[in-house]
């Protein structure tokens, strides 16, 4: 018989019931160090006092108001994002999938209103993940996610990730935009090489395309900058974000330049819940904290420490781990062939640490940005122990046993 909760996730036996800072508790009494943060969502850890206070305060005043009215929290958060990023304007919605979908709609409408309606195709990368709406499935490249859900919307072309020549060669008169993740998340924590985003910007400029970044996972401080593209010195035309934006409250946003967003006049797009007062209180408190002087410097310091510790563990366990990859506190460790990533995630869980699997046989660490040295020690010790046990189980028994 089907479970009351639709069974489209393979879930753990235990339920998570309480969180505080870097830790989360299960209903069987176990405590875990949370190195997954709800897949890069709980950027300030669990029940951060500033977030709790902001939501409590908002909950006592106004939960929801339609976008037919001005919403004070939206104006405050949009002003902050406009002041601290490339964006001139911001649209709020409820998830990453919607943010990417909105970005794609904007890119098409931009060319439509610019007198080039034939430009509706989006170029994106192999290995990418852009969400689970039909349009986002067409933009992403995971074949397994699409099975049985067709037909998907028209107008998506894919090229190998991190390959500027292939990208340039794929541009046609029908191309509207290039859509990329600065670091592919679900695809296996694959960071583009340093010049890639700059090259994408140049191709967009040369052919009059919009550069659209999917920073749903890389954004909101995850890599040590507010948005990951800041490392490359370029700015996109449109950026979709979500995950860490509300520190655990479901909320997404599309940031855009004035030129890119010009067609989005009243009536073109909408969302009932998008940017509601509760969500905006959560975003205001999250971004307010992440943008405090020194916060992102601490993220960078902790990322450096985590990377150097993980490099040691990888070096010590060549029978289990192949490499460390990613950027900032978005870290992947690729398991060698023959060691399934789910096995390492399971071992880590046995040793009290939550991690998340990703594509290419990778185990992800996406810890809350408030991580400290002691937590890194704890996570690395559990990883070392997990690798030792996996290597020992795999090794032929000393002495041969049955001679």
Ligand X SMILES: *Cc1c(COP(=O)(O)O)cnc(C)c1O
Closest CB to ligand X among residues 139, 380? 139
Nearer to ligand X, 110 or 130 (CB): 130
**In sequence order, what DSSP letters do the residues of 211-225 get, joined into one string?**
EEEE-TTTTTTTTSS
Q: Given candidates 21, 96, 224, 275, which one binds ligand X under the rule CB under 6 A?
A: 96
Number of residues binding to ligand X, judged by CB under 6 A: 15
> Which candidate, 222, 223, 220, 199, places its Cα nearest to that of 211?
199
Read off the tokens for 41.
């969502």
- Options 73, 131, 284, 359; binder of ligand X; rule CB under 6 A: 131
Give me the least distance between CB of 98 and ligand X, in Å please. Answer: 7
CB of 37 to ligand X, least distance (A): 12
Chosen residue from 37, 97, 283, 363 binding ligand X by CB under 6 A: 97
CA distance 226 to 209: 24
Q: Helix (H, G, I), strand (E, B), or coil: what is residue 199?
A: helix
Q: What is the DSSP string of 47-84?
A: S-HHHHHHHHHHHTT-S---TTS--HHHHHHHHHHHHH
Provide, rounded to whole angstroms, the least separation between the CB of residue 130 and ligand X: 5
- The Cα–Cα gap between 180 and 200 comes to 9
Distance, in Å, from the CA atom of 175 to the CA atom of 197, rounded to the nearest integer, reads 18
Task: Rule CB under 6 A: say whether 100 interacts with ligand X.
Answer: yes
Cis peptide before 199 (omega within 30 of 0): no
* Binding-site member from 48, 110, 130, 201 for ligand X (CB under 6 A): 130
Q: How far apart are CA 197 and CA 130, in angstroms?
A: 17
CB of 15 to ligand X, least distance (A): 20
Nearer to ligand X, 116 or 269 (CB): 269
Binding ligand X by CB under 6 A: which of 24, 106, 216, 370? Answer: 216
Contact of 196 with 231, CB cutoff 8 Å: no
Encoded one letter per residue, x for contact with ligand X by CB under 6 A and - for no contact, window 172-211 reads ---------x---xx-------------------------
Positions touching ligand X (CB under 6 A) are: 95-97, 100, 129-131, 181, 185-186, 214, 216-217, 242-243
């Amino acid at each position: 018989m089907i479970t009351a909760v639709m069974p489209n996730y393979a879930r753990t036996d235990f339920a998570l019931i309480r969180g505080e800072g870097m830790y989360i508790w299960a209903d069987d009494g176990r405590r875990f160090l949370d190195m997954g943060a709800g897949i890069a969502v709980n950027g300030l850890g669990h029940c951060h006092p500033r977030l709790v206070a902001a939501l409590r305060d908002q909950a006592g005043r106004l939960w929801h108001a339609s976008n037919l009215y001005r919403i004070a929290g939206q104006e405050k958060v949009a002003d902050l994002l406009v002041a601290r990023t490339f964006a001139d304007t911001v649209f709020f919605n409820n998830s990453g999938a919607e943010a990417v979908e909105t970005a794609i709609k904007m890119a098409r409408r931009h060319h439509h209103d610019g007198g080039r309606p034939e430009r509706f195709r989006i170029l994106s990368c192999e290995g990418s993940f852009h969400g689970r709406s039909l349009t986002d499935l067409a933009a992403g490249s995971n074949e397994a996610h699409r099975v049985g859900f067709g037909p998907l919307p028209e107008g998506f072309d894919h090229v190998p990730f991190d390959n500027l020549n292939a990208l340039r060669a794929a541009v046609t008169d029908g191309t509207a935009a290039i859509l990329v993740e600065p670091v592919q998340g679900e695809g296996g924590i694959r960071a583009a090489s340093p010049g890639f985003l700059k090259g994408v910007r140049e191709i967009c400029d040369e052919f009059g395309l919009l550069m659209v970044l999917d920073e749903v996972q890389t954004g909101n401080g995850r890599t040590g900058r507010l948005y990951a593209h800041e490392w490359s010195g370029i700015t996109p035309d449109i950026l979709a974000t979500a995950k860490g934006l509300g520190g655990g409250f479901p909320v997404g946003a599309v940031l855009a330049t004035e030129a890119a967003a010009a067609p989005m006049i009243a009536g073109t797009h909408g969302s009932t819940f998008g940017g509601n007062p509760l969500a905006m209180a959560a975003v205001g408190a999250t971004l307010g904290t992440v943008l405090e002087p020194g916060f992102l410097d601490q993220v960078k310091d902790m990322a450096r420490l985590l990377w150097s510790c993980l490099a040691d563990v990888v070096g010590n366990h060549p029978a289990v781990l192949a490499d460390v990859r990613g950027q900032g506190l978005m870290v992947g460790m690729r398991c060698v062939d023959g060691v399934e990533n789910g096995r390492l995630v399971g071992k880590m869980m046995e040793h009290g640490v939550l991690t998340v699997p990703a594509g290419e046989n990778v185990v992800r660490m996406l810890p809350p940005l408030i991580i400290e040295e002691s937590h890194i020690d704890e996570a690395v010790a559990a990883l070392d122990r997990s690798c030792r046990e996996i290597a020992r189980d795999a090794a032929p028994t000393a002495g041969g046993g049955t001679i």
